[in-house]
Structure formats: structure tokens, C-alpha cells
Amino acid sequence: MWALAALAFLALFALRLPFPVVVLAALLLGFLWKTPFRPPTSADSSLETEPARPSLRRTLLVAAFGFTLWWLPILLVGLSLGWESTWVREGVFFSKAAVVTFGGAYAVLPYIAQQAVEQHGWLQTGQMMDGLGLAETTPGPLIMVLQFVGYMGGWNQPGALPPLLAATLGALITTWATFTPCFLWIFLGAPYLERLRGNQKLSAAFAAVTAAVVGVILNLAVWFGWHVLVPTPQTVDWFALALASIAFLGLIKWKWDVVLVILASGLAGLLYRLVL
């Protein structure tokens, strides 16, 4: 597990492999490797019941309805505004992100940042950092960052639309393409979960993904930290370094409340900029 976490970090940070490739590789390695743990069993086996078998008809209906609901707005945007438009590309990209979102927000954000900034050019690195900082002030960082990226993509590449309308459409299509599939996976996969719980190979595969996600989150921490502390080449933000060090010590050693750390850090940064 330690080796998988380290390899995942190196694959992203040093080799710059795409996030989906890292997740799929970990999934395959876990499936082929020995089972790292056994699923917990009930203390009273007499209480366990055989899970119900989901019907094929239900599965097909849920899949048809879910995929139609998912892709219909993207297809309509493509027919109206062109298949190479910013909004179709956002819809397709965030749909892919929804499929490989293992490990929560901090696992998928490095992939989003890398693709949105370096490949699609929807926003600049500094703007991405603003979006990440904004999201950390809220309980739901993933949806905030993704809406911010979609909004900025439409604003910076509005095509023939007014920038505000283009940005709003970008935020809407991003939110729809990212989170609609989540409901599809729930309704489609929930009936099968109990039947798959005892599958040793599958448990090993997902345990491997969990280990790889640790490396993925470390990659985000390094990427985020580097761009905060070194905003431009050969320039170190000493104030940010000092503030980060104090916050780190307070959280680790003195167990400061995270909310208070965020509020105090934001206030310190505001005062620092106003003084300068």
C-alpha cells in the first residue's frame, strides 16, 4: 500500500501521467495482487440475508434514462453552438472526470487543474489558485472549484456569446455533467453492492485505489503549495511560507480548529496586502 501511494505520486508529479490512468492502473494491480484484507463479517451470521437479485429490465431502464438525462443537454448545446464550442468540450471533459472520481475532491482536483489550465486553456494558473482558495472556505470544495473552472472557461472563451452568458452556461453545463452521473451510479449500482461485498478480488482492487489516492492527494498538496509559495520563477512568497508554517504547527501540535485557522489566515492575508 505504501508502494502504491508512492508510485501514484511519482506518476502524477514526475511523469505527469493522467489521473484516470493512475486510478485504472491501481485498480488493475489490486485486482491481480493478493487480497490485502477480508471484508468484515457479521458477528451473528443468522441475521444475514441473501441480497435481492436486481432485474435486468430495471437495470436497462435506469441506464437508458440516466444516460439520456446525462447527455441530452450536452447534445443540445452541441447542436445549437457547435461541437467544438467551449461548452461541449467542458461537458465531455467533466463527464470523464465524473467517471474516474475516486477518492473525493482532493483526488480529482489535480487532474482538473492540469487539464483545465495546461490542455484546454480555460483559465490561468493564478486563476486556478484563486478558485482553489475560494473553495477551501466552503464545506463543498469540489462543486465550487468545478463551477469556477466552468465559469472561467466560458468567460475566457465566449465564442459568439456575451461573456457573462457564456460563463453562466459554462458553470451550468459543468455542474450538470459532473454530478448527474453520480445519481446514475447510485441508482444503477446500489442493488449490486451487497452482492459484490464478499468479492475478495474486487475488495482488493478498491483497496489499491484507496492507497493510490493517498499519493494523488499528496500531488495536489505539492502542486498547490508550490504555486502558493513560489508564485513566479525565482520568487518566494515569504509571508505565505510563514503563515503556512504557523498554520501547520497549530493544526498538528496544538489542534487548532480548522475553521478558525482559515478565517485567521484570510484576515492576515488581507491585512498584509492592505499594508503593502
pLDDT in tens, 208-237: 988 998 998 898 889 888 988 998 888 999
Beta-carbon contacts of residue 160 (< 8 Å; ≥ 6 apart): none
Least confident of 32-46, 104-118, 242-256: 32-46
Q: Which residues are CB-neighbours of 243 under 8 A, at least 6 positions away?
A: 265, 268, 269
Is the pTM higher than 0.85? The answer reads no
pLDDT band for 206, please (50, 70, 90 cuts).
confident
Residue 203 has pLDDT above 60, yes or no: yes
Alpha helices in 49-162 (DSSP H): 56-81, 86-99, 105-114, 125-135, 141-156
Q: Which of 12, 157, 174 is nearest to 93 (CA)?
A: 174
- Residue 140's pLDDT is what? 67
Rounded distance, CA 251 to CA 247, Å? 6
| Least confident segment among 68-77, 86-95, 103-112, 199-208 | 103-112
Q: What is the pLDDT of residue 103?
A: 61
In Å, what is the CA distance from 221 to each residue of 122, 144, 218, 259?
22, 18, 5, 19
What is the average pLDDT across 116-127?
Answer: 91
More confident residue, 252 or 199: 252
Mean pLDDT over all residues of the chain? 87
pLDDT at 109 over 90: no
**For position 153, what pLDDT does the model report?**
96
Q: In whole angstroms, what is the distance from residue 29 CA to residue 3 CA?
A: 12
Q: Which three cell numbers stand for residue 65?
A: 434514462
User: Is residue 74 within 8 Å of residue 173, measured between CB atoms?
Assistant: yes
d(CA 65, CA 68): 5
Question: How far is residue 272 CA from its own chain's centroid?
Answer: 31
Instruction: Please answer whether residues 213 and 8 qualify as being in contact, where contact means their C-beta atoms are separated by less than 8 angstroms.
Output: yes
Lowest mean pLDDT among 68-77, 97-106, 159-168: 97-106
Does residue 121 contact residue 227 with C-beta atoms inside 8 Å? no
pLDDT (average), residues 168-177? 96
Greater confidence (197 vs 60) lies with 60
252: pLDDT strictly greater than 90? yes
Provide mean pLDDT across the span 241-267.
94
φ, ψ of residue 235 in degrees (nearest 5):
-130, 125
Q: How far is Cα 235 from Cα 140, in angstroms, rounded to an integer?
A: 32
Q: How many CB atoms lie within 10 A of CB 23?
A: 24
Please provide the size of the chain in residues: 276
Amino acid identity at 211: A
Q: What's the number of CA atoms in the CB half-sphere (13 Å) around residue 272?
A: 12
pLDDT computed for residue 138 by the predictor: 75
**pLDDT over 80 (residue 7):** yes
pLDDT at residue 8 above 80?
Answer: yes
pLDDT digits (tens, 9 = 90+) for 19-52: 888 988 999 999 888 655 444 454 554 555 566 6
Cell of residue 63, nine digits: 441506464
